[in-house]
Amino acid sequence: MTGPLREREDAHALLTAEAERARAGGGRLVLLRGATGTGRSAVLEAAAAHATHLGLRVLRARCSPDDIALPFSSVLHLLGSVPEFADVGPGDDDRGSAARLWRLLRSYADESPLMVAVDDVHLADEASRRWFVEAARRIDRLPVLLVATERSQYDIDPRPAGLTHALSPSVVRTHTLAPLTDNASADLVRAAFPTASDRWTADCVRAGAGSPLLLHALLDDLDGAPPPTAVPRTCAALYPGSYPAAVSWWLDSAGPATAEVARTLAALEQAERTAQAERAVRAAEREGSAVRAERAENVERTASAWRAEGSVARNAVPVPLPDLGPVPAPDSDTHGDTHGDSDTVTEAAHEALPATEAATDALAALVADASGADPARVSGWFTAMTRLGVLRPDRAGRPRYAHPLLRDAVLGGWSPARRQDAHRAVAQAMLRRGDHLDAVARQLLGSAPTGLPWALRVLRDAATVAARDARPGDAVRYLRRALQEPLPDDLRQRLLTELGSLEYASADTPAGIPRLAEALDLPAEPRDQVRTAIALGTALVGRGEVRTAVEVLRRLEGRLAGHPDLARALQTASALLSDQDQTVRREAYRWLTDTAERSPELVGASGQALLVRYAATAGDLPAREAMRRLRTLLTEPADPLAEPFLLGTAAAVAQWADELDEAERLVERGLAGQHPSLLHPMEQALLDTRWDIAAARGAYGTLLAALPEAGRARRTGGSPVNADAHTLLALVETGRTPEARRLADTFDLRDTPDSWELNRFLYARGVLRFTEGDVAGALHDFLECGRRQSARAVHSPVVTPWRTAAAECRLALGNSQEALALATEELRLARVWNTPRTTGRALRVLGRATRGRRGLELGAEAVAVLRDSPAEAELVASLLAHGRQLTAAGERGRGRDHLREGAERAERLGSVRLLTYAEQALRTAGGRRTTPAHTGSGALTGSERRIAELAADGRTNTEIADLLHVARRTVETHLTSAYRKLGIRRRGELRGVLDD
């Protein structure tokens, strides 16, 4: 595809004037200079055609590097066959031959005016170049126009002096062909594709890089796939391939040193673009989390805010692109933020801030180091290519290829092996200059195995950092690449364990389990084998293969006779993992119990902690005694492999015992000790306890801040997890019943494998059904939850108070005797555990089932018990229940007081369900609620005010946590809530608003 020449009017005017001058008998040399692809040959051809039209005889020659060895070969191509012309060998005196050729030219000029057109004179043999220079000095009185084109481009290897280096300016007219501006390029695109959109046109303009050669080649290739088909980003999508061929020729003409630099830059940029794309994906995920977090924050503001969904502004601000005149820049893979055409870009580069220059110099130094070039020449090449339009500055001012297709075409000339070498060289150069570990590792991803210690070290360290920063995908890529290096078996075993763990954590379960199994078969230290076995067992349980997981651990345990501490860690892990299957759980705890009775030292502190938890759920142990035993166990020395089990178990029991601050500290301590690259069952258990703590506090905003997609991905078959149950309950409590129904319908529980998490979800779905008015369906869920819990020997209401929930269903259905039996049994078990949360709830429901004076007493006792509990939601429910009891008994004044207090607490808590219930009860009782302060210091809870005052006095969060004996996370949560209620954003504003 060819088209009219654009922006070459000055060159045409010059050549036309000189042709007229030649006709009048005055000759001159006109030198057309320009970079490769700027259209020198096209302008020369147009000038020759015009000269023919004027009556000039045109003599043409195109110089070639193949003819360099033959003296005067270019002149002979020009003048044609020369009779009796003697070949001149290298080193011979060529003056006679030059004179003969000059006489021949004069004879042609005597016949008619001449235009001598010499294309690519920089490729001419040396004898011909001297002849052209001498001819330029002597044709001023001849009707001869000598027009030569010469490549003039900045290369890494400096070029020899040009044709006119030794000529006086009076005998030569030099014209430099500039690259096409964006507007001219856009006109060419629209001429070829009149229906092209502005975006499509802009994409072509960037890929054309100001070069008529590249742009016409691209348009040739796109002729078979016109718009609206997108402009390709890789050369593989082009046919017949004119564009990559043109880019390859452009690089070849620049020489091997320039091509090396160009391709090294392309390889570096490609790796950076891949990293940016991955970061964009993660940013989108974080943005989604931010949206959910803001919605959750609205929960805690007012009840009405729960009925509306908040939004957050995007973190990323669109970056302005180079001004293309009438052509808007594309919105994908853009680089620059300068303004104007390609010439203006260069001016902007010269006027850049020092920081921009520093970034460009740093990039030039890196590319030079990796390619073995001179940094100063590389920096100059960047400037020259930016002027041409091949490169455009990015937001940091660093030069980048104008379009991904151009970058891909530049890389296309390298074999895979050569690309790998380039990535290794770039990585090594980056390491030498102290670049970020992640950037060095990303370059190594594209390299072949090096066998060099530094490469393995970089990949391992980068994987560790990525895992710590919650980027399992990056860590997986680094470890996969590290395993390609030559490794001893013990190191390979450790890396396979980390890789399998991270693949599982990044939802690539099918890949993770075979990796872990392979690692377990490799020779390694016993401690490393135990870590691998625990990771493999955790992954197998996540896939529903509980028995297989326990068998894996027991097989290894049999080989650890000389390592009792490691054997105990495996026993504890087996017991914990068995929680996902009631049959395996019974077997595991039976063995653990029997062993503890015979030889307590064989189960260790972590095993004894699990037995404390087992006794607590079985209803055999009071909370005070359970916590006493666990605190004693926590003071004993623990093996690092067993300590997470001890901390996680103690945190779960502390949460049941209403010791929420202590539970929170144990969770944070346990999570801090988790290896970021190793799969461990206690990590998920600790996260589950964190959810349980938030639910116990009634922190619905926390529960809804991040929906549990990640947790759900860790299970197969779409089974619900603990976070799903808590999310479902939080949605119900905050009045978002339709969303709760959608979440509940996500899971088909008919074929869901047995697990404690399924029981939690059955309970949560029962609450949803009861709220929706499906009392019979709710009762079915509660009773099924109870049946499954009883089969697991979980009788205490510390986990799921299914009996009181079923009792309320029985009351709603008119079966008061059955409700009374259920509530009585729950109260018996609750008094064994003896915490306000469980006891108060059981008292409330039993009071409703008992009725009469005894029922009133039980309801009042429930309120009194719960006033000392952190379970605010249970207190609200008891206030409302007792308020209705009092109203029904004729004590309407006291009843309305309880209902008002319950309504105010429900609103502060953000429970729309309880608030709606309270307002209905108040209307029935003939009362109305006073409107409390939603904002200002009057809206602060006691805990929020106490913490805010300490912060206003200059205390840090850590100091406040130590002073009040609470977790730092609790301090941060209360301060965040206080800031919102007080309408402030900074710590320094606290004193002023608290004093008002």
pLDDT digits (tens, 9 = 90+) for 395-446: 888 899 999 999 999 999 899 999 999 999 999 999 999 999 999 999 999 9
Judged by phi (left if over 0) then psi (alpha if -120 to 50, else beta), residue 10 lies in alpha
Of 184 and 510, which is predicted with more confidence?
A: 184
Q: What is the pLDDT of residues 942-974, one digit of tens each?
A: 778 888 888 888 888 888 887 877 777 778 878
Q: What is the pLDDT of residues 915-937, one digit of tens each?
A: 999 999 898 888 765 555 455 66
Res. 351: pLDDT tops 50: no
The amino acid sitting at 368 is A
Full-model pTM? 0.76
pLDDT bracket for residue 319 (50, 70, 90): very low
pLDDT bracket for residue 630 (50, 70, 90): very high
Region 265-282: what's the mean pLDDT? 80
Question: For position 585, what pLDDT does the model report?
Answer: 87
Residue 353's SS3 state is: coil
Cα–Cα distance for residue pair 952/991, rounded to 1 Å: 5
527 close to 566: Cβ distance less than 8 angstroms: yes
Distances (CA, A) of 994 to 360, 932, 946, 970: 51, 18, 11, 20
Region 385-401: what's the mean pLDDT? 92
Q: Are strands 172-177 and 114-119 parallel, antiparallel or unpaired?
A: unpaired
Cβ neighbors of 160 (< 8 A, separation 6 or more) are none
Sign of CA dihedral 588, 593, 595, 601: positive
Question: For position 337, what pLDDT does the model report?
Answer: 36
799 close to 814: Cβ distance less than 8 angstroms: no
384 close to 345: Cβ distance less than 8 angstroms: no
Distances (CA, A) of 643 to 640, 911, 990: 5, 38, 40
CA angle at 122 for the pair 119 and 127, rounded to the nearest 5°: 100
Res. 507: pLDDT tops 90: no
Cα–Cα distance for residue pair 142/102, rounded to 1 Å: 12
Six-digit token string for 745: 């319908």
Question: For position 350, what pLDDT does the model report?
Answer: 38
Count Cα atoms within 13 angstroms, Cβ side, for 407.
22
